[in-house]
Structure 1
């Protein structure tokens, strides 16, 4: 069962991969991408405007992320083309730290140039790279609920579902009805 509202709150890389649950695409339109960006808030650069041209770079990073994370979480070697795709997305809009003064100290704010979709894709690819390089990637799990393919990074080793409110509740209700039969 696919919930039309994206699951958020995991590392950004997993939130991105989780926008494609069980064959659905929760970032298929400009409006859907805008809604997801609003849910992510300050974790992603917010757009001035979005166009259809912003979708393909984000989809490409998501596809590479899903493949690379899928291999890495099982201690496998991610395919070279997935890693190259993530690297290329970052290369298209590298972050340069703009130095400034806030009145008391020097500030360093990362900035990217180019079209918004390319900048967003670079930001997302960087988040994926950070997760792939983190030993925690080996702890990433897939939800145990029937039909759910969401990924999560458990804070507790006994966590079994992507969301206690979504899949956890469904599983508990199903167990309850099974016992009552």
Structure 2
């Protein structure tokens, strides 16, 4: 994975879209996907496998592109393209989810599991996260970072938030403003 790591901690679907910053694709190779998957381990039911295939990568990249296009339309108050929504639905269907029942010795437990290859399962979980985000009324509050060289998206918890990361983009903007004030003053 590139030296630039996208912020982690936005809704999962935004974290996925943010793997394509202005500087390039952070999921360009199977190892990049495995690294990103490992960063998201706490939020995904499946741990990153030892090997991630080109097919796994292609499935996740497809979910990312369909999610990004649907989000772009919704953020502009437009209807998302039917093909993008259909592709996200298909990604979920490729690895159906069930609530697997088991007896733990004292009670019945239900654990959500998906069928399919690791890549299909990951793409399905990510498509499900995208579906939840796209259907959430908060989708209209998603913003693009205001730093001039950043295209990352975020869902602000505070209405005055302006940057994807206060530590990265916010600090760069503040330093540049300080430099301009002192250069001209």
Bin for the TM-score computed over the shorter chain: over 0.9
Q: Secondary structure at the match of 2:22?
A: helix
* Segments of 4+ moved more than 6 angstroms: none
Rounded to whole Å, the distance in 1 between the matches of 2:104 and 2:170 is 46
The answer for unaligned runs of 5 or more in structure 1 is: none
Which residue of the partner structure matches residue 176 of structure 1? 178
TM-score (norm 1): 0.94
C-alpha distance in 2 between matches for 1:23 and 1:178: 25
**Separation of aligned partners in 2, 1:136 and 1:165:** 24
Partner of 2:132, secondary structure, is helix
1:133 to 132, 135, 142: 135
Q: TM-score, normalised by structure 2?
A: 0.92
Equivalent residues of 1:6, 1:36 under 8 A apart: no
Q: Which of 62-71 and 73-82 deviates more?
A: 73-82
Distance in 2 (alpha carbons) for counterparts of 1:53 and 1:91 = 17
Residues 41, 48 of structure 2: 8 Å contact kept: no
Q: Unpaired runs of 5+ in structure 2? A: none
State the alpha-carbon separation in 1 of the partners of residues 103 and 151 from structure 2.
46
Q: Distance in 1 between matches of 2:23 and 2:83?
A: 22
- Counterpart of 2:152 in structure 1 is 150
Count how many residue pairs are aligned between Structure 1 and Structure 2.
180
Deviations along 1:115-148, whole A, 9 cap, x unmatched? 1111110110000000011101011000000110
The aligned residue for residue 47 of structure 1 is 48
Q: Which moved more, 1:43-52 or 1:120-129?
A: 43-52
SS in 2 for 1:22: coil
